[in-house]
Structure 1
Amino acid sequence: MKILIVEDEELSAERLHKLILTIDPSIHLLGIFPSVLQTIAYLENEASVKPDLIFLDIHLEDGDGFKIIETLNLMTPIIFTTAFDEYMLKAFKTNSIDYLLKPVNPLELQASLSKFKKLSEVSENKRKNIDNDPEVQTYKDRFLCSAGSRFYTFKTTEIAYFVIEQRATFLRLFDGRHFAVEYSLDRLSQIIDPAIFFRINRNMLICFNSIENIHMISAGKIKLDLDPAYSKEIFVSTDRITEFKIWLGK
């Protein structure tokens, strides 16, 4: 595996590199870059060896690390390493593998590298399966709901989340309206696209586009703000956090 480290703090970059080599000595460092411009120049150069994975700090000596992604329309997988948690949602809307807060925890780093390897294997297997099987699975793209004597049809793209309330399942639209649906969350998880919807806990299945903010309360607790807002605080179940981060980075 070939990596780049984009980090303007020399000691942080060296520590990260040592941690990476401790986890996997076969990983090859292509370079350490402290700035947006130097990183862009390297990646734009056709003669440069391209990385398989980039470790990216957000606050660099000449600006915002996101500018690298936006300027190059970068598709290389990224593990963000930063001291700030407020960029988590923006990071996961890029091709992010994980978001690690400084000082980087060795166990979290190891989990991130394992996640990258697993996702790479899944992506390769999926590509092979698609090549071998032209039939692609389809998911439910609309729902029929009723209110009184009237019936309504909604596209799945209009739905912000599904939630269980008083033992019944409801869908909430991005415009704020909500309707009962005759599906359990277990069944919904099977019939709608898992790349777009994720079951964060026992009572809620959310659309990626409904996520407004992500708060890392602690290593084992994540709180979400959704749009439209929900009446109660929303937490990702502890046993789903790793899978949730993988889903965010897809």
Structure 2
Amino acid sequence: MTILLIEDEPLIARQLRKLVQQLEPAATIDGPLVSVQGVIDYLTHHRPDLIVADIQLADGVSFDAFGQLNLNVPIIFTTAYDEYAIRAFKLNSIDYLLKPIDPAELKTALAKYHRWQPTGTDFADQFRTFLSQLNGQSPPPAYKRRFLGHQLRQIVSVAQEQVAYFIRDELIYLYTTAGQRLVTDYKTLDELDDMADPTRFFRATRQCLVQIDAVAGYRPHHTGKIQVLLHPPNDRFELMVSKEKAAPFRHWFEG
């Protein structure tokens, strides 16, 4: 079994390679490849059994490489993005792992790969379906425009433009742009992330989903993290975006 790694962050690549070697000690591991062109050159002459691929590379996105090739290889995506299209693609039997990579999730993804081998699943068809979704060839998903929260003894509806952010504590709290804090009945931030328009909302941390109008700006941190400046300010917590999510956050904030 040959596994190709595609990852342009050296530290993450070393950690990923070590983890894959631990989980698949009999496998040959190629890579990591760090660029779209490097992926194209490799796959033109080699066919691995499995690809573990980052999405954002030094010279583009890995989709650019896969889209140019007649590829029928299962792919496990690793990404700092938590977007609807990626999750939808998971339903097509290609897994994705959100960085930082959870070893248990990678183990589960590799187990899926081994279970699929006798079925003859056409991964190329699945991948083309995903690319068509990303290229806008299927109807865009319907995102929620209003969210419910408890205010005193009432249930109120808050327009997405008036949502500053959602915070997960023991419950999921909705903070409004007017500074109100409302209790919600949503169970998880993953549930809300599925409902929210990704052009307006960003999963900044596992505990916070922030709306773009609530971001006054940000300060780069010497560790590579980003301190998000909220509007209105909130004295209850400091919002720090991880180094892995810093580039996706900047891309989202720039529009």
Structure number with greater CO (CA < 8 Å, separation at least 6) is 1
Superposition TM-score, scaled by structure 1 size: 0.48
Superposition TM-score, scaled by structure 2 size: 0.47
